[in-house]
Structure 1
Amino acid sequence: MDKKSLLGLGLIALIMGVWLYFSGPSNAQIEQAKKQRDSVARAEALAFEKARALQQKKSPQQPGDLAIIKVSDSVLMQRERDQYLDFYTARNGQAQTCVLENKNVKIYVNTLGGSIQQVELKGYHRPNSVKPLQLFIADSSKMNLQWSAYNSTRMFASSEFYFKIIEQRSNTLRLRLETSKPGSYMELEYKLPKDGFTLESKWLFTGMQNIFSTTEDQLQWQWSVLYPSQEQHKSKEKEVATIYYKNTVEDPDNINPMAS
């Protein structure tokens, strides 16, 4: 590009700059436009505040956030009554720990659910310990009876209810889950022999025919336990760790939960 071309481009740029300067808005016009924009913004903000204040006055609990609805204790109580029906009376109580004991074993039973929560074996201990060996503790085990009721419209679990102590001796415990129907209740009975490790448990049902569902097998026994390691070495644990069970008309059998 020669000098004449560069000079021509410079003149064009100068002419455009002069034109933009004289054709654009003056400083006074720019200031006036700014004032108008600020005035409109203030008016819109004022209108928004008035509208929000009016909305809060009409709906003080709904300023834009979700309102917290408080439910009275009586309403909550009625909801629980509707849910548990005849079993509602056993929903309230205080958990107690009962002990069954002989020379071989000590068993702790909780009246909340009637479940066995801890078992200790006397004369046995873990390696490097003198304390009685604990088969399991409350935090690692769960025992539960589930049943269907009211034509299969409800499903309940024994862990939801407080049992009353009907009989308690060193080797016998009888607990009762009462309903609001006179003469209708469930009993859980534990018996421990004077010598040995076998605990007998038995469920008894009285006057429950109008509560239990009759169209299906409605009773389900559930037991889960986090089996603690008792032996010093894992290989020995796998050899001896065993759980025995017995069906009604069959011989006892065992499973090995530690097998892999």
Structure 2
Amino acid sequence: MDKNSIWGLVIIGAILLGYTYLTKPSDEEIKAMKTRDSIASVERLRDEKLEAARIEGLKKQYAEQKEDTVALQKTYGAFAGAVQQKEEIITLENKLVKLSINTLGGKIANVELKDYKTHDAKKLMLWGEKNSKFGLTFYAENKALNTQDLFFVPVKALKTVDASTAEQVVSMRLSAGEGKYIEYKYTLEPDSYKVGFDINVVGMQDVISLNQRDLTFNWAADIPSKEKGRKFENQYTALYYKFFEDDVESLSASGEKEESVSTKVKWIGFKQQFFSSVLIADEAFKGIEFKSVDMEETSPILKNFSAAISLPYQGSQLENYPMSFYFGPNKYKTLREYGKDIELHSLVDLGWKMFAWVNKWFVIPIFNFLEKYIMNYGIIILILTIVIKLILAPLTYKSYMSTAKMKVLKPQIDEINERIPKDKAMERQQATMALYKKAGVNPMGGCLPMVVQFPILIALFRFFPSSIELRQKSFLWATDLSSYDSIVSLPWDIPWYGDHVSLFCLLMAATNLIYTRMNSQMQTSQQMPGMQTMMYMMPLMFLFWFNNYASGLSYYYFIATLFTVVQTWAIRKYLVDDEKVLAMLEANKKKPVKKSKFQQRLEDAAKQKGFKAPKK
């Protein structure tokens, strides 16, 4: 190494020493560095502890999961894997209905009818998911299980781009191991209220208890209020069922009712005023426990319906239970199309059988015909009323003529009553009847029109509140012809009357009062004490009976009574003259009295027994 090299190294060393001296940290910086080092040391220690805690937590969680798995295995056996899963909603939808199917229980969570709304313009759901039951109960490994507590898996779901033109299918399976499952298969047809429903039990002979002879299918639901008039909606909401090849029955629409049916049943219907959910067996159900519970008036729920259905189980490789649902309106024509042979149309309350024929063969066909040409149901009811009154016009005329004949004979009847004392009531009656017979008057002639009209009145009394055609259809001031109309809301609820004033009901009562007045002027004899007052009390009673009833019915009774008043006035003014009627009766008196065949037979029988006919 030469001299220059040595000086170079010395200079470099001096530079390094100088740089080190000049760049050394101050006391404050050294203190800060020591602080940072301490913090880093604490953070490393904390991270180590957290990591240790995390590892310990994972170990504990694993142990708990293992313990839970053992507990689930112990509780649910082969179905343990169907407990802790995530809920999912599968939707089936066409133009008419929308079904929401929950993977929890594989059940129909709710059904929306797309063409209808509630009275307050909300979506119309036949039932809500809460407080509804839908599933099988059975014993497996000596434990009672309910499928609605377990998760199903949608293994097959077919849905085209245009769901309205193709059949939709979803298959929900509850697995119990390889090749072992319970399946709910739902099939929604296009443009249909019908939903196919099949229960398939596959390979479960080693899972379900060997001594199990029946599986129980539980179906229950809360029925929410959907209409404006809760009172009559509740009255027309009931649980119906049809015996196999026999009559349709129902549980009482009020209170709490239970019934056990061991004979075959074709279908079960949770019927509301205008809509129904019906479970229909392909063959028949056998062994059902029914229950219907009324809810409080303040509850948004009307009733709770439930049906526990026994399904025979043979322990085979495949057990199949085919059935179907109808979710739709209580429209007579629609129900006949879906189940004429099984009497689904019985869900439409048309009244007792002896009166229902009037609605089936007369009122409904007229309604269906007029619907094709007229959109306003108030006009349809008006035309229906006119048609009915015109058909009955000959009877109305005959009834008035009978009353007129008795009216013109009243002076002669009064003469009989003056001539024969009151204590000889039988003699009075015989003399009066002899006068009627001689004059050719039938005192019961005025009753025939009432006998004919009575089935029509009763039939329409049941038709209007049940007619979905009138639901939410407005006319004049009435916003819903299937419910009450209201022109004034009262600040309080009057017992038996309500909290509103129905104008159609007022008009109906007023026309009945006028008609009662017209009839009282035609009376031929003194009425029983209080009868006159009772006749005038009837219109007042109508105010209480019909104030909460369907405005369509009050409107019909108003128009019908008004038409009758006009008919009676016209007949009295233009067609019937009292003097001519009296002259005709006096002419009848001169004719020989003809005995009826029945009267002749009575007299012949009396002669054979040694009795003589009374002298005339």
1:139-158 deviation line (CA, Å, top 9, x unaligned) = 242212111123xx111111
SS in 2 for 1:227: strand
Task: Choose the corresponding residue for 1:172, options 169, 172, 176.
Answer: 169
Task: Write out aligned runs for 1:153-232 (5 A).
Answer: 153-170=142-159, 171-180=168-177, 182-232=178-228
Matched, 1:119 2:106: no
More helix, by proportion: 2
Deviation of the 1:238 alpha carbon: 3.2
TM-score, normalization by structure 1: 0.63
Deviation of the 1:208 alpha carbon: 0.7
- The size of the alignment, in residue pairs, is 186
Q: Which amino acid aligns with 1:160?
A: D
Task: Write out aligned runs for 1:229-248 (5 A).
Answer: 229-243=225-239
Contact 2:103 2:153 in 1 (8 A): yes
Deviation of the 1:101 alpha carbon: 1.0
Q: 1:120 to 1:234 in 2, by over 3 A?
A: same
Q: Which amino acid aligns with 2:124?
A: L
Task: Write out aligned runs for 1:92-111 (5 A).
Answer: 92-111=84-103
Q: 1:231 to 1:161 in 2, by over 3 A?
A: same
Distance 1:119 1:192 in 2: 12
Distance 2:143 2:120 in 1: 50
Q: 1:137 to 1:241 in 2, by over 3 A?
A: same
Residue in 1 that maps onto 2:330: none
For the aligned residue pairs, the C-alpha RMSD in angstroms reads: 2.6
Task: Choose the corresponding residue for 1:149, options 111, 136, 140.
Answer: 140
Contact 1:114 1:159 in 2 (8 A): yes
Task: Choose the corresponding residue for 2:130, options 139, 143, 146.
Answer: 139
Distance 2:270 2:125 in 1: 20
Deviation of the 1:234 alpha carbon: 2.2
Q: 1:255 to 1:91 in 2, by over 3 A?
A: closer
Contact 1:97 1:110 in 2 (8 A): yes
Deviation of the 1:85 alpha carbon: 1.9
Distance 2:139 2:106 in 1: 18
Residue in 2 that maps onto 1:73: 65
Unaligned runs of 5+ in 1: 1-70
SS in 1 for 2:78: helix
Identity of aligned residues (%): 26
TM-score, normalization by structure 2: 0.28
Q: Which amino acid aligns with 1:176?
A: R
- Structure 1 stretches of 4+ with a deviation exceeding 4 A read 242-250, 253-260
Distance 2:112 2:242 in 1: 22
Distance 1:165 1:208 in 2: 19
Q: 1:103 to 1:159 in 2, by over 3 A?
A: same
Return the index of the structure with the highest Cα Rg. 2
Q: 1:121 to 1:243 in 2, by over 3 A?
A: farther
Contact 2:128 2:222 in 1 (8 A): no
Distance 1:158 1:234 in 2: 35
